[in-house]
Structure 1
Amino acid sequence: MKRYKYLIFLVLASLVITGCTGGGGSPGYGGIEGYVRYAGTNVPVANALVEIGNRFDYTDTDGFFRVTNLPARTYTLTIEHPGIRDRVHGQTVTIPAGGTNRLTVLVQPKETSPTTGDVGGWVYVPTGSQAMALEEVEPMILNQATAPGNYEPLVGATVRVGNRTMSTRNDGGFYFSDIQPGSWLLTVDHDWLRFRIEREVDVVSGRVTWVGDRESGTIVGGIGYYVVIGINDYAYEPYLLDGPVEDARAVYKTLFEGNELAGLGELLLNSDASRSNIRYWIEEAARQAKSSDDYLVIYFSGNTGVDFLSPWDDDGTFTESRIITDVELEKWVRGFPGN
């Protein structure tokens, strides 16, 4: 009998955490901050890209932005947003040495056709996954112009609504204007994605539908369900196996803990990894999964044979009622969507 790790499906992702620092008030340097609002209504413009010099920021839900550590001089302040007339607003501003220019920028709203609507959003993937060129990247589509923690924009993804097509920008964003009202299928494709992402969006006359807001929901490219098993203390073994429990803990931490796209994670070690318990959690994952885009990861580290796994309560005779055969395992996962 061989002892090795039985791996049905495993993806390990490296997280690259980056940060930046900025300053203001240094001699010869200053900053700028303020609010972007629509003229006439004073409504905040959220998720607008504000650029000045070689620095930028995105407005928050109140329309607020701040850029610091700029050489003191005159600049063109550029504000870009799909809801702004001609998409871009520009004006001249001066950065004071050792101080901050505080202002409110009023922009003209786009003239939206009363008979059509618009659709927009941003596509993100885990940080570092694009450089790794994996085909197992899990995307997230949100209605916010800043990536959530440990995510970065997915550039160059093909987004389709009906017969309209565009590629995501450098910030991962996309925006379609003048879409006829009704229910439309929105799809996202990219060479690095495991599969095409599909979602129905409702287009309303005279409005912008932001994909990922509370009304339309967040698109997630499949939810992961993880059952991780490690056994090093078999009753029929005269000694402890070296490594299975430690390996299982490490895999569980990598796959599930801190994973924003995880639906269920169960770590079964030694006596918790009985045959009935393993079956229960695999079938529980199948019960909880809702989408054919969801996926199931089963990691086993312990004693195995050519076509079976040895659970903790195996007595060493390896009879079919004690072990988990490949055929039995296939039956347990059969209820998972997409199988």
Structure 2
Amino acid sequence: MAPGLLDWLLDSDPALRWQVERDLAGVPEGVWRATRARVATEGFGAELLAEQDPDGQWAGGAYFPADFQGDEDGQPWTATTWTLTTLRDWGLDATALAGTAELLAGNSRWEYDDLPYWGGEVDCCINSYTLANGAWLGVDVSVIARWFLDHRLPDGGWNCEWVEGSTRSSFHSTLNVLKGLLYHEAVTGGSDELRAARRSGEEYLLERRLLRSLSTGELVGPWATRFRYPFRWGFSVLNALDYFRAAALHDGVEPDPRLSDAVDVVRAARRPDGSWVQEGRHPGRVWFEVDVPEGDPSRWLTFYGTRVLDWWDRAGGEPSRLGIRGGSSG
């Protein structure tokens, strides 16, 4: 690691610092766990907890704020599902949200067809977040888990536009579903059927090397090689590699060699000082900013990029010779 880079990463909010301590600095478990506990009482995590409504929701809505009229610049990121997902990603202990699951069961309904919150709805990505968040908060979300078995597409992945008749999987939707299935499996143990579904979704992305159209070999789009934090719903090879790292560690397997092209993209984006820069944000209303403006070096992206490359290099992964970087239409 470049001189001073670790100190720079450690000089961060507890939501990031504990992960740097655990995964990059190698500090004793008691140290990083103490930092992780601070997520509930300091910084970003405490700020989000303070915004919770008395009925258990955030911003008065399940996926959209209660006052959302559809005329804003971008998707708002302040409602319940996005806030829960963010807090879970930051490592908040579920005990800090004691009673929230019950409040949401009684008070929160999806904007789609007024469906009950913990039953999920029809969007693959929304259901994936709800599956993971429910497992985190101790809710029985087995109905949602089975939903993914019924809505997997013939090519092995998922697409949120299945309700419009799409029969081809989406990189974005498939990655979000995989992340939800993996988290649910880690908490509950999963099932053979769900593990098979997860592996079919992984194979969908691996066949395309996380980058390319299977039919043309072209890059699927400029978004695949654009790194932005927060990741939100969007696919990037960095977001996907972070998933495959977690899945490989969970499964106790070595990195799949078909990840090498994506690793090459991440490596090429690293600056000489060891950092990665923020390449934009998904537009939309937020409670507060958690990362730097576009063009500035990002601690969050640097953490994810460094962690992915450390995992790959320690496992002896071979670099691609393609040197891919930049956008292309798919």
TM-score of the superposed pair, with normalisation by structure 2: 0.19
Q: As a proportion of its length, which structure holds more strand?
A: 1
Structure of higher CA gyration radius: 1
TM-score of the superposed pair, with normalisation by structure 1: 0.19
Q: As a proportion of its length, which structure holds more helix?
A: 2
